[in-house]
Amino acid sequence: MNEEKISSRFIYFFGAFGGILFGYDIGVMTGALPFLEKDWNLYNSAGIVGWITSAVMFGAIFGGALAGQLADRLGRRKMILISAIIFAVFSVLSAIAPNNGSYYLIIMRIFLGLAVGAASALVPAYISELAPAAIRGRLSGLNQTMIVSGMLISYIVDYILKGLPNQIAWRLMLGFACIPAIILYLGVIKLPESPRYLIKDGRPDEAQKVMSYVRSSEGEINNEINQIKETAHKEQEAQKTSWSALFSGKYRYLVIAGVGVAAFQQFQGANAIFYYIPLIVQKATGQAATSTLMWPIIQGVILVIGSLVFMWIAENFNRRTLLMFAGTI
Protein backbone atom coordinates (compact mmCIF):
# COMPACT_ATOMS: atom_id res chain seq x y z
CA MET A 1 0.00 0.00 0.00
CA ASN A 2 1.26 3.51 -0.78
CA GLU A 3 2.46 5.58 2.15
CA GLU A 4 0.99 8.85 0.96
CA LYS A 5 -2.57 9.62 1.97
CA ILE A 6 -5.15 8.85 -0.70
CA SER A 7 -8.01 11.30 -1.19
CA SER A 8 -11.40 9.94 -0.15
CA ARG A 9 -12.89 11.48 -3.33
CA PHE A 10 -10.38 9.54 -5.43
CA ILE A 11 -11.30 6.34 -3.58
CA TYR A 12 -15.03 6.83 -4.03
CA PHE A 13 -14.74 7.91 -7.68
CA PHE A 14 -12.65 4.96 -8.85
CA GLY A 15 -14.41 2.65 -6.42
CA ALA A 16 -17.60 3.42 -8.36
CA PHE A 17 -15.95 3.65 -11.80
CA GLY A 18 -16.72 -0.01 -12.48
CA GLY A 19 -20.27 1.17 -13.11
CA ILE A 20 -19.00 2.91 -16.26
CA LEU A 21 -17.98 -0.48 -17.67
CA PHE A 22 -21.34 -2.00 -16.83
CA GLY A 23 -23.22 0.94 -18.35
CA TYR A 24 -21.07 1.15 -21.48
CA ASP A 25 -21.65 -2.48 -22.31
CA ILE A 26 -25.40 -2.21 -21.69
CA GLY A 27 -25.59 0.77 -24.01
CA VAL A 28 -23.08 0.02 -26.75
CA MET A 29 -25.16 -2.68 -28.46
CA THR A 30 -27.93 -0.13 -28.91
CA GLY A 31 -25.90 1.59 -31.63
CA ALA A 32 -23.76 -1.35 -32.74
CA LEU A 33 -26.65 -3.72 -33.45
CA PRO A 34 -28.08 -1.97 -36.54
CA PHE A 35 -24.61 -1.91 -38.16
CA LEU A 36 -23.93 -5.52 -37.19
CA GLU A 37 -27.27 -6.60 -38.68
CA LYS A 38 -26.38 -4.90 -41.97
CA ASP A 39 -22.81 -6.22 -42.04
CA TRP A 40 -23.72 -9.85 -41.30
CA ASN A 41 -27.22 -9.76 -42.86
CA LEU A 42 -28.96 -10.81 -39.65
CA TYR A 43 -32.36 -9.29 -40.46
CA ASN A 44 -34.07 -12.71 -40.38
CA SER A 45 -32.01 -14.12 -37.50
CA ALA A 46 -33.83 -12.81 -34.44
CA GLY A 47 -32.53 -15.67 -32.27
CA ILE A 48 -28.89 -14.94 -33.10
CA VAL A 49 -29.41 -11.19 -32.61
CA GLY A 50 -31.03 -11.88 -29.25
CA TRP A 51 -28.16 -14.09 -28.11
CA ILE A 52 -25.50 -11.60 -29.23
CA THR A 53 -27.31 -8.87 -27.32
CA SER A 54 -28.04 -10.83 -24.16
CA ALA A 55 -24.85 -12.92 -23.98
CA VAL A 56 -23.26 -10.36 -21.66
CA MET A 57 -26.15 -10.64 -19.20
CA PHE A 58 -25.90 -14.45 -19.34
CA GLY A 59 -22.21 -14.27 -18.45
CA ALA A 60 -22.96 -11.68 -15.78
CA ILE A 61 -25.08 -14.21 -13.88
CA PHE A 62 -21.99 -16.35 -13.31
CA GLY A 63 -19.64 -13.40 -12.89
CA GLY A 64 -21.78 -11.94 -10.14
CA ALA A 65 -22.14 -15.31 -8.40
CA LEU A 66 -18.40 -16.03 -8.46
CA ALA A 67 -17.19 -12.54 -7.66
CA GLY A 68 -18.33 -12.51 -4.04
CA GLN A 69 -16.68 -15.83 -3.20
CA LEU A 70 -13.43 -14.95 -4.97
CA ALA A 71 -13.38 -11.48 -3.41
CA ASP A 72 -13.48 -13.06 0.05
CA ARG A 73 -10.36 -15.04 -0.87
CA LEU A 74 -8.42 -12.58 -3.02
CA GLY A 75 -9.74 -9.20 -1.89
CA ARG A 76 -12.16 -6.69 -3.43
CA ARG A 77 -9.43 -4.55 -5.01
CA LYS A 78 -7.69 -7.47 -6.72
CA MET A 79 -10.96 -8.82 -8.09
CA ILE A 80 -11.89 -5.42 -9.54
CA LEU A 81 -8.45 -5.31 -11.25
CA ILE A 82 -8.99 -8.81 -12.67
CA SER A 83 -12.46 -7.78 -13.89
CA ALA A 84 -10.98 -4.74 -15.66
CA ILE A 85 -8.41 -6.93 -17.43
CA ILE A 86 -11.04 -9.46 -18.54
CA PHE A 87 -13.29 -6.63 -19.73
CA ALA A 88 -10.51 -5.00 -21.78
CA VAL A 89 -9.33 -8.27 -23.35
CA PHE A 90 -12.75 -9.55 -24.38
CA SER A 91 -13.87 -6.13 -25.62
CA VAL A 92 -11.01 -6.24 -28.12
CA LEU A 93 -11.67 -9.90 -28.96
CA SER A 94 -15.33 -9.04 -29.63
CA ALA A 95 -14.28 -6.22 -31.95
CA ILE A 96 -12.09 -8.51 -34.07
CA ALA A 97 -14.74 -11.20 -34.53
CA PRO A 98 -14.37 -13.04 -37.87
CA ASN A 99 -16.85 -12.12 -40.56
CA ASN A 100 -20.25 -13.75 -39.88
CA GLY A 101 -18.78 -15.20 -36.69
CA SER A 102 -22.00 -15.01 -34.69
CA TYR A 103 -21.16 -17.88 -32.36
CA TYR A 104 -17.66 -16.56 -31.77
CA LEU A 105 -19.10 -13.16 -30.83
CA ILE A 106 -21.66 -14.74 -28.51
CA ILE A 107 -18.92 -16.67 -26.68
CA MET A 108 -16.68 -13.59 -26.39
CA ARG A 109 -19.56 -11.57 -24.97
CA ILE A 110 -20.38 -14.30 -22.44
CA PHE A 111 -16.80 -14.03 -21.14
CA LEU A 112 -17.16 -10.25 -21.21
CA GLY A 113 -20.26 -10.72 -19.09
CA LEU A 114 -18.20 -12.41 -16.40
CA ALA A 115 -16.37 -9.12 -15.88
CA VAL A 116 -19.59 -7.11 -16.07
CA GLY A 117 -21.26 -9.30 -13.44
CA ALA A 118 -18.21 -9.22 -11.20
CA ALA A 119 -17.95 -5.43 -11.40
CA SER A 120 -21.67 -4.97 -10.72
CA ALA A 121 -21.35 -7.15 -7.59
CA LEU A 122 -18.02 -5.85 -6.31
CA VAL A 123 -18.39 -2.11 -6.78
CA PRO A 124 -21.36 -1.61 -4.40
CA ALA A 125 -19.71 -3.93 -1.84
CA TYR A 126 -16.40 -2.09 -2.01
CA ILE A 127 -18.05 1.31 -1.64
CA SER A 128 -20.27 0.22 1.24
CA GLU A 129 -17.28 -1.21 3.13
CA LEU A 130 -15.41 2.07 2.86
CA ALA A 131 -18.12 4.71 3.07
CA PRO A 132 -19.34 6.26 6.33
CA ALA A 133 -22.97 5.41 7.08
CA ALA A 134 -23.99 9.06 6.66
CA ILE A 135 -23.12 9.13 2.94
CA ARG A 136 -23.80 5.54 1.84
CA GLY A 137 -27.09 6.56 0.22
CA ARG A 138 -25.34 9.24 -1.80
CA LEU A 139 -22.56 6.86 -2.83
CA SER A 140 -24.99 4.14 -3.88
CA GLY A 141 -26.48 6.83 -6.09
CA LEU A 142 -22.97 7.59 -7.41
CA ASN A 143 -22.66 3.97 -8.56
CA GLN A 144 -25.99 4.25 -10.41
CA THR A 145 -24.89 7.57 -11.92
CA MET A 146 -21.72 5.88 -13.16
CA ILE A 147 -23.79 3.11 -14.79
CA VAL A 148 -26.10 5.48 -16.67
CA SER A 149 -23.15 7.75 -17.52
CA GLY A 150 -21.46 4.72 -19.09
CA MET A 151 -24.61 4.15 -21.12
CA LEU A 152 -24.67 7.79 -22.23
CA ILE A 153 -20.98 7.64 -23.20
CA SER A 154 -21.64 4.55 -25.31
CA TYR A 155 -24.58 6.27 -27.03
CA ILE A 156 -22.40 9.29 -27.85
CA VAL A 157 -19.59 7.05 -29.16
CA ASP A 158 -22.12 5.16 -31.30
CA TYR A 159 -23.44 8.45 -32.69
CA ILE A 160 -19.94 9.74 -33.50
CA LEU A 161 -19.01 6.53 -35.32
CA LYS A 162 -22.26 6.11 -37.27
CA GLY A 163 -20.79 7.61 -40.47
CA LEU A 164 -18.22 4.85 -40.82
CA PRO A 165 -18.75 1.75 -43.01
CA ASN A 166 -20.94 -0.89 -41.36
CA GLN A 167 -18.15 -3.45 -40.98
CA ILE A 168 -15.92 -0.93 -39.16
CA ALA A 169 -18.48 1.03 -37.11
CA TRP A 170 -19.80 -1.77 -34.90
CA ARG A 171 -16.30 -3.17 -34.33
CA LEU A 172 -14.99 0.17 -33.07
CA MET A 173 -18.09 0.66 -30.92
CA LEU A 174 -17.46 -2.67 -29.16
CA GLY A 175 -13.68 -2.29 -29.09
CA PHE A 176 -13.72 1.15 -27.47
CA ALA A 177 -15.11 -0.50 -24.33
CA CYS A 178 -11.50 -1.38 -23.49
CA ILE A 179 -10.74 2.32 -22.83
CA PRO A 180 -12.83 2.71 -19.64
CA ALA A 181 -11.55 -0.72 -18.55
CA ILE A 182 -7.95 0.50 -18.83
CA ILE A 183 -8.83 3.71 -16.96
CA LEU A 184 -10.47 1.64 -14.22
CA TYR A 185 -7.40 -0.59 -13.94
CA LEU A 186 -5.02 2.38 -13.65
CA GLY A 187 -7.24 4.05 -11.06
CA VAL A 188 -7.81 0.95 -8.94
CA ILE A 189 -4.07 0.20 -8.80
CA LYS A 190 -3.80 3.22 -6.47
CA LEU A 191 -6.82 2.30 -4.37
CA PRO A 192 -6.48 0.65 -0.95
CA GLU A 193 -7.97 -2.73 -0.14
CA SER A 194 -11.28 -2.89 1.70
CA PRO A 195 -10.70 -2.62 5.49
CA ARG A 196 -13.20 -5.43 6.04
CA TYR A 197 -11.14 -7.78 3.88
CA LEU A 198 -7.90 -6.67 5.55
CA ILE A 199 -9.27 -7.47 9.00
CA LYS A 200 -10.54 -10.88 7.88
CA ASP A 201 -7.09 -11.47 6.34
CA GLY A 202 -5.37 -10.71 9.67
CA ARG A 203 -4.05 -7.23 8.79
CA PRO A 204 -5.76 -4.86 11.26
CA ASP A 205 -2.98 -2.24 11.11
CA GLU A 206 -3.45 -1.83 7.35
CA ALA A 207 -7.22 -1.70 7.83
CA GLN A 208 -6.81 1.12 10.36
CA LYS A 209 -4.64 3.04 7.91
CA VAL A 210 -7.22 2.65 5.14
CA MET A 211 -9.95 3.86 7.49
CA SER A 212 -7.93 7.00 8.17
CA TYR A 213 -8.40 7.96 4.50
CA VAL A 214 -12.18 8.02 4.78
CA ARG A 215 -12.88 8.80 8.46
CA SER A 216 -12.26 12.07 10.27
CA SER A 217 -11.53 11.07 13.88
CA GLU A 218 -9.48 8.44 15.70
CA GLY A 219 -12.49 7.49 17.84
CA GLU A 220 -14.65 6.88 14.75
CA ILE A 221 -11.92 4.74 13.20
CA ASN A 222 -11.43 2.59 16.30
CA ASN A 223 -15.16 2.16 16.80
CA GLU A 224 -15.71 0.98 13.24
CA ILE A 225 -12.65 -1.30 13.30
CA ASN A 226 -14.05 -2.98 16.42
CA GLN A 227 -17.45 -3.39 14.74
CA ILE A 228 -15.84 -4.99 11.69
CA LYS A 229 -13.82 -7.36 13.91
CA GLU A 230 -16.97 -8.37 15.77
CA THR A 231 -18.88 -8.98 12.53
CA ALA A 232 -15.97 -10.97 11.05
CA HIS A 233 -15.85 -13.12 14.18
CA LYS A 234 -19.57 -13.86 13.97
CA GLU A 235 -19.27 -14.72 10.26
CA GLN A 236 -16.43 -17.12 11.01
CA GLU A 237 -18.52 -18.87 13.63
CA ALA A 238 -21.44 -19.15 11.20
CA GLN A 239 -19.46 -20.53 8.25
CA LYS A 240 -21.17 -23.93 8.50
CA THR A 241 -24.62 -22.40 8.09
CA SER A 242 -26.54 -23.97 5.18
CA TRP A 243 -28.25 -22.15 2.32
CA SER A 244 -31.57 -23.06 3.90
CA ALA A 245 -30.82 -20.51 6.64
CA LEU A 246 -31.45 -17.75 4.08
CA PHE A 247 -35.08 -18.85 3.91
CA SER A 248 -35.61 -19.22 7.64
CA GLY A 249 -38.09 -16.92 9.36
CA LYS A 250 -35.34 -14.53 10.40
CA TYR A 251 -34.08 -13.77 6.90
CA ARG A 252 -36.86 -14.91 4.54
CA TYR A 253 -38.49 -11.51 3.99
CA LEU A 254 -35.15 -9.73 3.51
CA VAL A 255 -34.11 -12.27 0.86
CA ILE A 256 -37.49 -12.09 -0.91
CA ALA A 257 -37.41 -8.29 -0.90
CA GLY A 258 -33.81 -8.06 -2.11
CA VAL A 259 -34.14 -10.68 -4.85
CA GLY A 260 -37.62 -9.45 -5.78
CA VAL A 261 -36.51 -5.86 -6.35
CA ALA A 262 -33.60 -7.01 -8.53
CA ALA A 263 -35.79 -9.42 -10.51
CA PHE A 264 -38.63 -7.00 -11.18
CA GLN A 265 -36.13 -4.35 -12.30
CA GLN A 266 -35.29 -6.72 -15.15
CA PHE A 267 -38.83 -7.92 -15.85
CA GLN A 268 -40.39 -4.47 -16.17
CA GLY A 269 -39.16 -4.07 -19.74
CA ALA A 270 -36.76 -1.12 -19.70
CA ASN A 271 -33.93 -3.30 -21.02
CA ALA A 272 -35.80 -3.75 -24.32
CA ILE A 273 -35.69 0.03 -24.75
CA PHE A 274 -32.02 0.22 -23.73
CA TYR A 275 -30.93 -2.36 -26.31
CA TYR A 276 -33.38 -1.88 -29.17
CA ILE A 277 -34.51 1.74 -29.22
CA PRO A 278 -33.07 2.45 -32.76
CA LEU A 279 -34.83 -0.68 -34.08
CA ILE A 280 -38.06 0.29 -32.30
CA VAL A 281 -37.91 3.79 -33.81
CA GLN A 282 -37.20 2.22 -37.21
CA LYS A 283 -40.35 0.10 -36.95
CA ALA A 284 -42.41 3.07 -35.78
CA THR A 285 -41.18 5.69 -38.27
CA GLY A 286 -39.68 3.79 -41.19
CA GLN A 287 -36.32 5.53 -40.73
CA ALA A 288 -33.17 3.41 -40.94
CA ALA A 289 -32.05 2.34 -37.46
CA THR A 290 -28.51 3.54 -38.20
CA SER A 291 -29.83 7.09 -38.63
CA THR A 292 -31.85 7.20 -35.40
CA LEU A 293 -28.95 7.17 -32.92
CA MET A 294 -29.88 10.55 -31.44
CA TRP A 295 -32.78 8.86 -29.60
CA PRO A 296 -30.50 6.80 -27.33
CA ILE A 297 -28.56 9.97 -26.44
CA ILE A 298 -31.79 11.66 -25.35
CA GLN A 299 -32.62 8.56 -23.32
CA GLY A 300 -29.14 8.61 -21.77
CA VAL A 301 -29.40 12.25 -20.74
CA ILE A 302 -32.74 11.55 -19.05
CA LEU A 303 -31.22 8.59 -17.18
CA VAL A 304 -28.26 10.65 -15.92
CA ILE A 305 -30.51 13.48 -14.77
CA GLY A 306 -32.79 10.95 -13.06
CA SER A 307 -29.86 9.36 -11.22
CA LEU A 308 -28.68 12.76 -9.96
CA VAL A 309 -32.18 13.53 -8.70
CA PHE A 310 -32.18 10.13 -6.97
CA MET A 311 -28.95 11.01 -5.14
CA TRP A 312 -30.72 13.99 -3.59
CA ILE A 313 -33.88 12.00 -2.83
CA ALA A 314 -31.90 9.15 -1.21
CA GLU A 315 -30.31 11.60 1.20
CA ASN A 316 -33.59 13.19 2.23
CA PHE A 317 -36.11 10.35 2.42
CA ASN A 318 -36.37 7.03 4.22
CA ARG A 319 -35.02 4.14 2.05
CA ARG A 320 -37.86 1.76 3.00
CA THR A 321 -40.45 4.38 2.09
CA LEU A 322 -38.78 4.95 -1.27
CA LEU A 323 -38.77 1.22 -2.05
CA MET A 324 -42.44 0.90 -1.17
CA PHE A 325 -43.36 3.95 -3.24
CA ALA A 326 -41.28 2.85 -6.25
CA GLY A 327 -42.78 -0.64 -6.08
CA THR A 328 -46.28 0.76 -6.58
CA ILE A 329 -45.44 2.76 -9.69
Is 246 within the bounds of a domain? yes
The 10s digit of each residue's pLDDT in 74-96 is: 888 899 999 999 999 999 999 99
| CA within 13 Å, CB half, 184 | 32
Is 158 within the bounds of a domain? yes
More confident residue, 231 or 108: 108
**What is the chain's mean pLDDT, rounded?**
83
The 10s digit of each residue's pLDDT in 135-188 is: 766 777 788 889 999 999 999 999 999 889 999 999 999 999 999 999 999 998
User: What total number of domains does the chain contain?
Assistant: 1
Is 142 within the bounds of a domain? yes
Least confident span in 62-71, 168-177, 180-189, 266-275: 266-275
Q: Where are the alpha helices (DSSP H) in the chain?
A: 8-16, 18-40, 46-74, 76-95, 102-130, 136-161, 166-175, 178-189, 195-200, 204-214, 218-237, 252-267, 270-285, 294-316, 319-328
Domain range for 276 is 8-194+242-328
pLDDT above 90 coverage of the chain, percent: 28
Instruction: For residue 179, give the CATH number of its domain.
Output: 1.20.1250.20
Q: Is the dihedral of CA 79, 82, 86, 88 positive or negative?
A: positive
The 10s digit of each residue's pLDDT in 201-213 is: 888 888 888 888 8
- The pTM (predicted TM-score) of the whole model is 0.82
Whole-angstrom distance, CA of residue 292 vs CA of residue 279 = 9
Whole-angstrom distance, CA of residue 111 vs CA of residue 113 = 5
Is 224 within the bounds of a domain? no
Q: State the average pLDDT over residues 15-36.
A: 88
Is 44 within the bounds of a domain? yes
Is 217 within the bounds of a domain? no
The pLDDT score that the predictor gives to residue 1 is: 42
Is 264 within the bounds of a domain? yes
Is 29 within the bounds of a domain? yes
How many angstroms separate the Cα of 320 from the Cα of each of 134, 254, 325? 16, 12, 9
Kindly indicate the confidence band of residue 266, based on its pLDDT and cuts at 50, 70 and 90.
low
